[in-house]
Structure 1
Amino acid sequence: MAETSTDHKAHTPFFSRPGVRRLAPFAVITAIALIFIFENRQSVEIRLLIPEVTMPLWGALLIAWGLGMIACVFTLRRRPNRHSRRTK
């Protein structure tokens, strides 16, 4: 009897699936980053080009982490387009 794609997924170990293998490192790094961010609660002075603001360090770290995540999303979305142009 032919094996269907749903049968194949039922026999594939959970951590061997491609979606889980891509998501697991992201989840671990995100958890560690968020723990680090929320452990740093003291207020600090931050210079934003000209103005100097006082804000909690966790807020500044959370903003930097969010901007990094946005940059990562844009980078990962662009990658398949570059490879598809080369193969044509």
Structure 2
Amino acid sequence: MSPKTPDSAAAEGAKGGLMKTARTSVLALAAFVLVFVSENTGATRIRLLGSEVTMPLWTALLGTGAIGAVCGVWFMKRKSR
């Protein structure tokens, strides 16, 4: 192992601060989504390809968010290849 130089120590500190900011942003966004979903609990009609379903709005929002998250992870993995 090579000893840490002042430049590499500063770079590690900046990276750690960035990760902390990103984690805080994600937690704030998750809290916002939970509040948004909890405020939208009424029933809604959803039509897809000719069929119609009535379900609570929070279920539709949660399902849409889950599909978006899966697509985001898939695209990020594809991009890293």
**TM, length-normalised to structure 1:** 0.66
- Counting aligned pairs with the same residue, the percent is 31
User: How many residues were matched structurally?
Assistant: 75
Q: Which runs of 5+ in 1 are unaligned?
A: 82-88
Tell me the C-alpha RMSD between the 2 structures.
Answer: 2.7
Q: Which residue of 1 aligns with 2:77?
A: 77
Q: Which residue of 2 aligns with 1:34?
A: 34
Change (3 A) 1:22 1:79: farther
- Looking at structure 1, the residues matched to 71 and 23 of structure 2 have their Cα atoms a distance apart, in angstroms, of 17
- Looking at structure 1, the residues matched to 75 and 50 of structure 2 have their Cα atoms a distance apart, in angstroms, of 30
Q: Which residue of 2 aligns with 1:64?
A: 64
Change (3 A) 1:61 1:27: same
Indicate the SS of the match to 1:12: helix
- Looking at structure 1, the residues matched to 26 and 77 of structure 2 have their Cα atoms a distance apart, in angstroms, of 16
Per-residue deviation, 1:15: 5.6
Amino acid at match of 2:77: R
Amino acid at match of 2:80: P
Per-residue deviation, 1:13: 7.3
Q: Which runs of 5+ in 2 are unaligned?
A: none
- Looking at structure 2, the residues matched to 65 and 30 of structure 1 have their Cα atoms a distance apart, in angstroms, of 11
Q: Which residue of 2 aligns with 1:84?
A: none
- Looking at structure 1, the residues matched to 24 and 78 of structure 2 have their Cα atoms a distance apart, in angstroms, of 21
- Looking at structure 2, the residues matched to 26 and 78 of structure 1 have their Cα atoms a distance apart, in angstroms, of 22
In the TM superposition, 1:1-40 aligns within 5 A as 2-3=3-4, 8=9, 12=13, 16-17=17-18, 19-40=19-40
- Looking at structure 2, the residues matched to 27 and 38 of structure 1 have their Cα atoms a distance apart, in angstroms, of 17
